Each structure stands twice: as structure tokens, then as C-alpha cells.
Amino acid sequence: MYCYLWFVGHQVATYREVTNLFDLSKSNLFDIISNMSDFIGSLAPMFITWPTEEESLATKQHYIQKYNFPDVVECVDGTHIKIDRPKESPNSYYNRKDYFSLQLEIVCKHNLRIINMYSGYPGSVHDARVFRNSSVFKRVTETDINGHLLGDAAYPCLKQLITPCKDNEHLERVHRSFNQHPYKSRVSVKHTIRILKQRCLYHLRLRPGARRLQLIRSCCVLHNMVLQRDIVHLEPALEVHNNCQDGSCNNADFIDDIHFDEDGRDKRKNILQRFM
């Protein structure tokens, strides 16, 4: 357990450094990390769960009272988990921020608890495409979630997912004001990602394959376990840069593969009236 926690908790730790520290062979260390990742990851159904109606109501009340934003049940965002240069298809893992990565999609509540995570796509894949292929997209489009998610401009505007108005450099004052509210309201998911990366997912040093994804899952489980035990996060969080916060987004053309629906735009217009 100590080996596993040291490995995931020290961002610059290499296999050699950890094996020397704990007097292990590389194969033994790999087995320990794999077994612990499998075990902790298997606890995901207990710790990473969709909120109850009561929890969703509490989230709605939080966002309406603090940000004057109605019917928010969750926030969604994507982030890049840094990895070493893959031997196979390295270009597909090279992201717009100029490093190799895996995509990680996080959905969380206002209290930073992760309720869904989805990972595995290479870093060059756009957030909107990851979202379309995740279980979250199916859930919000095929079931009544009695509210909507908040996302940034990397995502399509749907009835169940409200995003900022697209910034074409000709936005009216009310639209600019509206765009600031989703950004401010989404501070919880940004903070969740910062804490998660600071604790264990800033740079993933594992061989390619399913084990790497299981390690990511296990770190998300540990994050929720820590929250459940009310362990205070004392260190300053790492900065997580995002180019899509105010309605502008690099490579936004990728959003075109998920068409904006009229219900989503109409819903956003109705919410926009609150900021006039």
C-alpha cells in the first residue's frame, strides 16, 4: 500500500527511484501498483455514484443561492493526464498544449465529489468527442436528470448541458455577463481537477494499456474516499489551464460532430433573461 501511495503521490517518481526506496525489483513494483489499482478501482461502484434526488436538490440550491444559476445538478469538464511519449501512434497522444496525454472527463458535484469519470482517449481527441462517447452523454440525453449540467465552450449546448454563448467578438453585454456565470459556477469541477492532479494524476508513469486506465480510476476513488473522511487539503492547488472558459475554444470545430439542439439554445435564452 505504501509503495502504491508513494508512486501515485510523487509526480516525478520514476520506477527506479521507487524500487530503490523500497528495495524492490521493477517487476514486483509493477505487480504492486497493478494489484492495488485493481483493488481500489473495484471499489468505484461504492464511491463514484450518481447523486440521489436529495443530493441533486442540494446542488441546485447551492448554485441558485451562490451564483443565481438555476437547475444545475452537476458540472462536467475534461483534463489532460500527462504521460510519457508512447511508442505506438505518439501523434494521437500529442495534445494542443504540446505534451503527450490521456483525456479524462470528470463530472462532479458542488462539494467536489466525483460522480462519474471517463478516460482512455488520446490527448488529441476533443472534449466534445469524448463526451459524446461517454456514459454521461447517454444518461443525460436518454433519461430525465431533472436539471442540467454545466460545461465550457468545448461542449455542445444541449437541453441537458448548458454552455457559454459562443464568443464571436460581437457579444452584447448581457451575453458577456451570462458567460461569466457558467465560468464562475464551474469552479467546483476546476478545483476538483486541480486537487486530483496535485494528489496523484499530474504525470502518469505507467506502461500503456488497461492498467493505466485502472490507475486513473483508482485515483478518482481515493479522491472521494478522502472527501468522505473530511481530510483537509492544505497545499495550494496546481493550476489547470483551460482555453474554453469564456465562450472561446481552440479547435471548436470538433463540436460540429454533435449538433447543437434548439431546445438547448432556447433553454439558454430563458436562463439568460435572469442576467438582463
| Mean pLDDT in residue range 103-113 | 94
Instruction: Looking at the structure, tell me whether residues 167 and 98 fall in a common domain.
Output: yes
Model pLDDT, residue 117 = 95
| Mean pLDDT in residue range 99-117 | 94
**pLDDT tens digit sequence for 25-57:** 988 888 888 899 999 999 999 999 999 999 999
Residue 254 has pLDDT above 50, yes or no: no
Instruction: Looking at the structure, tell me whether residues 21 and 59 fall in a common domain.
Output: no
| Mean pLDDT in residue range 201-217 | 75
Q: What does the alpha-carbon distance between residue 204 and residue 83 come to, in Å, rounded to a whole number? A: 5
Residue 247 has pLDDT above 50, yes or no: no
Instruction: Looking at the structure, tell me whether residues 108 and 203 fall in a common domain.
Output: yes
Instruction: Looking at the structure, tell me whether residues 31 and 60 fall in a common domain.
Output: no
| Mean pLDDT in residue range 227-246 | 53
Instruction: Looking at the structure, tell me whether residues 128 and 8 fall in a common domain.
Output: no
| Mean pLDDT in residue range 3-12 | 78
* Cell reading at 223: 479522491
**pLDDT tens digit sequence for 188-205:** 899 999 999 888 887 776
Model pLDDT, residue 43 = 94
Instruction: Looking at the structure, tell me whether residues 126 and 229 fall in a common domain.
Output: yes
What's the total number of domains in the chain? 2
Q: What percentage of the chain exceeds 90 in pLDDT?
A: 37
Instruction: Looking at the structure, tell me whether residues 9 and 104 fall in a common domain.
Output: no
Instruction: Looking at the structure, tell me whether residues 37 and 58 fall in a common domain.
Output: no
User: Which range (138-152, 222-236, 261-275) has the least confidence?
Assistant: 222-236
Instruction: Looking at the structure, tell me whether residues 228 and 113 fall in a common domain.
Output: yes
Q: What does the alpha-carbon distance between residue 175 and residue 50 come to, in Å, rounded to a whole number? A: 32
Can you give the pTM of this predicted structure? Answer: 0.84
Model pLDDT, residue 40 = 94
Model pLDDT, residue 217 = 94
Instruction: Looking at the structure, tell me whether residues 37 and 96 fall in a common domain.
Output: no
Identify the domain containing residue 67 by its residue range: 50-275
* Cell reading at 96: 494542443
**pLDDT tens digit sequence for 154-192:** 898 888 998 888 776 677 777 777 777 666 778 889 999
Q: What does the alpha-carbon distance between residue 143 and residue 100 come to, in Å, rounded to a whole number? A: 35
Using CA atoms, how far residue 62 sits from 108, 159, 246, in Å, is: 14, 20, 22
Model pLDDT, residue 88 = 85
| Mean pLDDT in residue range 73-100 | 91
Model pLDDT, residue 75 = 93
Q: What does the alpha-carbon distance between residue 160 and residue 147 come to, in Å, rounded to a whole number? A: 7
Residue 146 has pLDDT above 80, yes or no: yes
Instruction: Looking at the structure, tell me whether residues 179 and 261 fall in a common domain.
Output: yes
Predicted confidence band of residue 132 (pLDDT cuts 50, 70, 90): very high
CA 12 to chain centre: 22
**Strand pairing report for 72-83 and 203-204:** parallel
Q: Which residues contact 23 (CB under 8 A, 6 or more apart)?
A: none
Please tell me which residue, 16 or 35, carries the higher pLDDT value: 35
* CB atoms near residue 65 (< 10 Å): 9
Using CA atoms, how far residue 213 sits from 79, 82, 121, 245, in Å, is: 14, 13, 10, 27
Instruction: Looking at the structure, tell me whether residues 143 and 237 fall in a common domain.
Output: yes
Q: What percentage of the chain exceeds 70 in pLDDT?
A: 82
